[in-house]
Structure 1
């Protein structure tokens, strides 16, 4: 009767030999790809070698031909494989590398793929989240992408990072629900008055225009569009059409500040966050007036089409870091909490209150309404006028 063929994952008889005082256990194993291979492990004694081989055989995974990830791959090597093939922007690639080098390479880089279970992933990420929530979120994205490669190579059955819950590390105090905060109309008026006053201040001994000269117009454009600050700063004059009826503006790029990408200076990226397409918006009168004033300051003939709308004194791109510094200096007492990113939820909330949440979503160019509602709309705390309905209900009782 012919010998029965081993099923994938099974192995044959284990033999042990002694060479130079070291015991070597060997067996033939049929891997999950159907190939028969020789597996060996050694030990200080016959029993130690046999035990080591059995442990290896129980967790053995077939090496996939041509794969870059095996059970012996370290997490440091896995990151290098992941980042070289990740389909992300140059800015994200640089950010992922920085976070990994600071919080991953030394901490877990020497571990092999199988030595990083869900419990260890949870301990690492939750520990970071208690101090730096944004950093933990980025590192989780990196680790999740890394272990997807290992799952696809059949080195591990499931992604251990998928089970990590960062929400419990950053959960608000029970009874207090955090949410976006929007400026009221009077708060915005106070902020703009302070910004206009700051824009008039000149620095003794400094040549050129006041450092805050662009701040009022920039604030007006943020409120008029609800755009992200780095997308509004990336505007060129060819993106603005003040002669249209009504006047329009198109957000089509992102300004990348100094140091955001290693080795790259301040520059304009020709696409928006996440690779989103161009977003055209109708301009209210306040924004049109601010843009017209900037045109008048550009001199005879006006600005060239590709020139920045918010140009520095040399005619180049204005750094967002400089604009933030000016805002910090311009804010009046009691307005310290306001940042440029506070304007986006302010616009969303104002549009929602006047036109409904769907219009707020369209203004901010979100793909999903849930994103607008969760992160940009200030929560309503006033109920509708339901008095008549409740009185009718109460009147129906006997």
Structure 2
């Protein structure tokens, strides 16, 4: 009868021989983790010692995966470290995403439940832990932790600690409250005027880069591009001589501790690469920036004095300074200063375009693959329903009612 084929990680029958020296040698066959047959030998002063040494060699082969190993008693903290190691080695995750994973594990997950063995991480415990994170940290921290927990559990399944992912059956966390602030064209003109007069007669020292702030605002409004995508524009990406002028959104600026400020050669999603026709005010803003940028084709449109691309954090800091200094005037104009960030420009454009031309065009302008994303997160529905609905209903019943 033919011998049965060994399975991966399985050790065959152990045979022990006594050597002429009096010592004992244990021999066996083993199938490693990749299915290759290995012949093992180990010696000892006794039969039991030789067998023990052979089993130790087999365990070493089972654990030789080219990276860290995990036992059945591994804690969430230990599995989290292996999850980060595997992600880093895969080289498929953006540095900024890796930093978000690391921060969630280090600052939230490990302090809350790092010593809990992963095999004890049940659906009930998951619900309780996420509720605690939401209460003691924030909803955003809980939603991020839920995502990381799910991937850590997948690592546990891969290392045969878990048989299923308990996060999938855990209760859903609520979505963050939708931001509803948008700027009307009139309010945007007011913001422009305030930017132009910002710190013109104060003793604060060098005046902020108001040209970059104003032009960046108008380009974001005219293209609906994210701030990182606008700051990634180069001289070769814009064409103000064509009719109409255009801007190619094909990159974004990213900043991480590991790589610093860098230009990623794709927008937030690769499929969101798009060429956008510029309205006249956005084209004027591009022309203004071209007057202060280097003449090289790949020179950044928004650059520092050293010629390096402007960082997202610096632009956002510039905007926050403007909002703080002009808070009273902005509130008088009916502008919600608590929601005044670079994202308000993108949201305002989406709302204006959707009201005039429908959700499909607004979604394409924003680069979304799904119109539901545009509707749920960007377009702010008007309170007043178009009165044409009354005319439609009157026409339907005009001949039936007295």
Q: TM-score, normalized by length of structure 2?
A: 0.72
Unpaired runs of 5+ in structure 1? Answer: 1-63, 173-177
Cα displacement (A) at 1:65: 8.3
> Counterparts in 2 of 1:290-301, with a 5 A limit?
290-298=285-293
Look up the match of 2:134: 129
Superposition deviation, residue 359 in structure 1: 0.3
Query: How far off its partner does 1:229 sit?
Result: 0.8
Q: Determine if contact 2:245/2:283 at 8 Å carries over to the other structure.
A: yes
Could you tell me which residue of structure 1 aligns to residue 213 of structure 2? 215
- Secondary structure at the counterpart of residue 112 of structure 2: helix
Seen in structure 2, the aligned counterparts of structure 1 residues 289 and 199 have a Cα distance that, compared at 3 Å, is farther
Match of 2:390 in 1: 387
2: CA distance, partners of 1:94 / 1:284: 37
Structure 2 Cα separation of the partners of residues 199 and 316 of structure 1: 25
Work out the CA distance in 1 between the residues paired with 2:277 and 2:95.
Answer: 31
* Corresponding position of 1:36: none
Deviation at 1:167, TM superposition (A): 3.2
Gaps of 5+ in 2: 1-61
- CA RMSD, 1 decimal: 2.7
Partner of 1:72: 73
Change (3 A) 1:162 1:201: farther
| Partners of 2:215 and 2:286 within 8 A in 1 | yes
2 CA distance for matches of 1:200 and 1:293?
20
The partner residue of 1:142 within 129, 139, 148 is 148
| 2-structure distance, mates of 1:171, 1:362 | 24
User: Cα deviation per residue 1:139-168 (whole Å; 9 max; x = unaligned)?
Assistant: 111111111233345533321112333534
Q: Deviations over 1:268-296 (max 9, x none)?
A: 22222244452221111111111112222
CA distance in 2, matches of 1:320, 1:123: 36
Find 2:121's aligned residue among 116, 134, 150. 116
Structure having the higher helix fraction is 2
Change (3 A) 1:244 1:388: closer
User: Residues 92-107 of structure 1: matches in 2 within 5 Å?
Assistant: 92-107=97-112
Q: How many residues align?
A: 321
CA distance, structure 2, for counterparts of residue 370 and residue 266 of structure 1: 32
Which residue does the alignment assign to 1:350? 352
Pick from 244, 247, 266 the counterpart of residue 246 of structure 1. Answer: 244
Aligned pairs for 1:1-398 (under 5 A) are 68=69, 70-86=71-87, 87-130=92-135, 131-168=137-174, 178-198=178-198, 205-206=205-206, 210-257=208-255, 261-298=256-293, 303-331=295-323, 332=326, 333=328, 334=331, 335=335, 336-337=337-338, 338-384=340-386, 385-391=388-394, 392-393=396-397, 396=400
Distance 2:201 2:376 in 1: 39
Q: Could you list the per-position Cα deviations for residues 181-224 of structure 1 after superposition, in whole angstroms to 9, with x for gaps in the alignment?
A: 32122222222221222285686654xx7432311100011001
Deviations 1:276-325 (A, max 9, x none): 45222111111111111222234xxx521121101122221222223223
- TM-score, normalization: structure 1? 0.73
